Amino acid sequence: MRATFMYGAGDVRVEEVPDPRIQAPTDAIVRVVLSCVCGSDLHPYRNMPTSGTGVPMGHEFLGVVEETGSDVTTVRRGDFVISPFAFQDNTCQFCREGFQTSCVHGGWYGAGGVGGGQAEAIRVPQADGTLVAAPVGEDSELLPSLLTLSDVYLTGYHAAHMGKVNQRTTVTVIGDGAVGLSAVLASKQMGAERIILMGRHASRTNLGREFGATDVVPERGKEGIAKVLELTGGEGTHVVLEAVGHLPAYEMAYGVVRPGGVISRVGVPQYEQAPIGFGSLFGKNATLTGGPAPVRAYIEQALPDVLEGRINPGRVFDRTVTLDQVAESYKAMDSREALKVLLTP
């Protein structure tokens, strides 16, 4: 089969590799029907040191179960399934508390001998705890929105969930990428009436307005902070959802969070050290939360919203290419020509 590998910054290749095979009784093999490129894939696309060994790429996919290991009971051959971007047993102590990305038997696609989703097929470890069957066919118009339950929409949802967004909270969303726009949509779903979207790309912020943003702030840095404070009577917002991952975005976050408010991060931090002392978080009792989204915790609840048309998070996809064109799709997203690209095998 064909699968996508990254060999270094800017170097994405599709290669012919052996078909994946069941390795453990808890595995399933899924034929990929639809996958996509993630904003987080752009971090190695910009920074990965050149390597002689390709890293399997892709962690968001929908597909059809082709084969299951002997212990798998919740999905069977022929089922149409959604996979979270990480696998998990969904039964361990951390899974039960809703933090499946910390599963003691879990892991990440593209690492530790597990392939990536930007491929024709993939081996899914811990299939019972990972895969969620969806009652649709391969030709459903809902596939793009269902694919967002693999990562992007539910990552935005996780940000809002950890930030405790509700009817009484004002919200700032930092970042007009697909996760930021998803965070806007999730905040709207949770009842937020004031959602300020910080982003500079009109085509994206326009979609953000359709998803529920009430204000758009294109300014960044100090000017951006000043603008949000101006919009909120100098107070800042109760919740700030940080969907970028770079330090300047975090710096804006603590600048606009209200005393006693919450910064919820889902952009994978491209930094380790950052300000958290009296002048940033502590002095105003600001809370910092977030992390890799345990989307498995949220799929079953979000599924009816997609199936019954209450939300259409798949609108974040603005281009579809075949797997052979995957390198171009990385380039298009990196240059911001495309917001988020669908891949068909």
Binding footprint of a second copy on the chain (CB under 8 A): 93-94, 97-99, 101-102, 162, 235, 258-260, 265, 268-269, 271-292, 294
CB 60 within 8 A of CB 35: yes
Smallest distance, a second copy to C-beta of residue 335, A: 26
User: Any idea which residue has 């204000």 for tokens?
Assistant: 215
Smallest distance, a second copy to C-beta of residue 108, A: 11
CA-nearest of 77, 236, 268 to 169 is: 236
Sign of the dihedral through C-alpha 73, 114, 36, 216: positive
CB 319 within 8 A of CB 342: yes
If the CB atoms of residues 191 and 283 are measured against a second copy, the closer one turns out to be 283
If the CB atoms of residues 52 and 234 are measured against a second copy, the closer one turns out to be 234
If the CB atoms of residues 271 and 301 are measured against a second copy, the closer one turns out to be 271
Which two tokens mark 195?
A: 């959602």
If the CB atoms of residues 222 and 336 are measured against a second copy, the closer one turns out to be 222
Integer Cα distance of 267 and 269 in angstroms:
6
CA Rg, the chain, in Å? 20
Smallest distance, a second copy to C-beta of residue 324, A: 32
Smallest distance, a second copy to C-beta of residue 150, A: 18
Quick one: angle between helices 202-211 and 178-189, nearest 10?
Answer: 20
Integer Cα distance of 166 and 193 in angstroms:
9
Which two tokens mark 18?
A: 């052996």
If the CB atoms of residues 248 and 304 are measured against a second copy, the closer one turns out to be 248
CB 87 within 8 A of CB 106: yes
If the CB atoms of residues 41 and 120 are measured against a second copy, the closer one turns out to be 41
86 bridge partner residues: 108
At 267, is the secondary structure helix, strand, or coil?
Answer: coil
Smallest distance, a second copy to C-beta of residue 290, A: 7
Smallest distance, a second copy to C-beta of residue 233, A: 9
If the CB atoms of residues 50 and 273 are measured against a second copy, the closer one turns out to be 273
CB 333 within 8 A of CB 341: yes
If the CB atoms of residues 150 and 280 are measured against a second copy, the closer one turns out to be 280
Smallest distance, a second copy to C-beta of residue 281, A: 7
Which two tokens mark 317?
A: 């996809």
Smallest distance, a second copy to C-beta of residue 260, A: 4
Distances (CA, A) of 320 to 76, 137, 314, 326: 29, 19, 12, 10
